[in-house]
Structure 1
Amino acid sequence: MSRRFTIALVVGAIAGYFAGVANCRLTSEKKALSSEHILERVKSAVNDQLPIEGAWIYLSPHIWSRDSLNYMVYKGGLISSDRGINRHFDFIADAHSGTILELTAQH
């Protein structure tokens, strides 16, 4: 009985180790970019179409759902000025890539 227990203990420890290593890899692959980095990517992506005068972003990402899919996102806003008229846009950007998932003009 003692030998079976020792074998089970060793096998369990090895399996636990490899599960922990796999979990660390998945966690690091899914780590969100910083809010500052995302904001710079968003501003770069829209700069050709909108002259950006100001921008803001929430500092922490959160889960956002669309079409039954969940995304880790940052929310923020842009202010664009065209011929003296300021326009405000809200955006939602993927926290891992900076891809703009939604850009909405506010009236």
Structure 2
Amino acid sequence: MKLKDFLAGVLTGVAAGFIVNEAIDRVNPNVAADSVLNTIKVAFKSEGPIDGSWIVMKTEPYKNNVITMNVYRGGISRIKDGELEQFEFTADAKTGTIVELVKI
């Protein structure tokens, strides 16, 4: 096999991989739900230990006045000053940004 043929094959493989990766990103532009939950957990851990957390892996539509977006819903709990605190959150599925955090 000639070096020229080998390099042509490698470059073709790299180009095909790049194209497939871009196509997948366009089909599912959402941030992974696990990533969103981990980001929230890191923020809460800075104030103390976490007791539990959850997130719904499927997005759902969310409307806040005139803004409509797909979101993940989840929750987190912790013990602070001997008291159980529970929060529910709503996060934008495209960016992972928290759009609502409610203490329950």
Structure-2-length-normalised TM-score: 0.67
Partner in structure 2 of residue 102 of structure 1: 100
Which runs of 5 or more structure 2 residues have no equivalent in the other structure?
A: 1-21
The separation in 1 between residues aligned to 2:81 and 2:62, in whole angstroms, is: 35
User: What residue identity is the alignment partner of 2:75?
Assistant: G
The separation in 2 between residues aligned to 1:102 and 1:50, in whole angstroms, is: 21
- Percent identity, aligned pairs only, is 28
Report the alpha carbon displacement of residue 59 of structure 1 after superposing the two structures with TM: 1.2
Change (3 A) 1:29 1:67: farther
The separation in 2 between residues aligned to 1:51 and 1:98, in whole angstroms, is: 22
Structure-1-length-normalised TM-score: 0.65
SS at match of 1:53: strand
Report the alpha carbon displacement of residue 29 of structure 1 after superposing the two structures with TM: 7.7
User: What residue identity is the alignment partner of 1:103?
Assistant: L
Which runs of 5 or more structure 1 residues have no equivalent in the other structure?
A: 1-23
The separation in 1 between residues aligned to 2:99 and 2:44, in whole angstroms, is: 13
- Across the aligned residues of Structure 1 and Structure 2, the Cα RMSD in angstroms comes to 2.2
Query: Structure 1 residue runs of 4+, over 6 Å off?
Result: none
User: Rg bigger for which structure?
Assistant: 1
Report the alpha carbon displacement of residue 30 of structure 1 after superposing the two structures with TM: 6.2
The separation in 2 between residues aligned to 1:30 and 1:67, in whole angstroms, is: 26
Report the alpha carbon displacement of residue 102 of structure 1 after superposing the two structures with TM: 0.5
The separation in 2 between residues aligned to 1:95 and 1:71, in whole angstroms, is: 8
